[in-house]
A = this chain, B = another copy of it.
Amino acid sequence: MPHFGTTARQIRERLRESDRRFSLRQVARRVGVEPAYLSKIERGVVAPPSEATTVRLARELDQDPDVFLAMAGKVSSDLQEIIRRRPKLFAELIRQLREAPDEAIFRVVRVVRDGDW
């Protein structure tokens, strides 16, 4: 699993090559945190930020919030709530899919999405 801060920094620096609005300070301002704090986050000096801040940062860097949250060691609270509503069913389903290959999970997603079964 890649490091949260390092990854965020790499993505930001890549974006910055073509758009100098992606300086640490400007991104920090748009995300709504202090530059010093974002600096520490990117270098791993502090733990990844809260869920809300992580999601705002992901959006700012045009990344998938769930992936960013995963790197931050978290799971989106809306997913957690879905699980909490029916804990037995979801717990069994998820543990069942622990070792399943990506393909198998994706097949399940498709089947459920299309509903034709």
Contact = CB atoms under 8 A, between A and B. Distances in A.
Interface of A: 1, 64, 66-67, 69-70, 73-76, 78-80, 82-98, 100, 102, 104-106, 108-109, 111-113
B75 A96 contact: no
A72 to B, nearest CB: 9
Where chain A touches its partner, the secondary structure class is: helix
A91 B112 contact: no
Q: How many copies does the complex hold?
A: 2
B105 A89 contact: yes
B75 A83 contact: yes
A96 B88 CA distance: 17
A89 B102 CA distance: 8
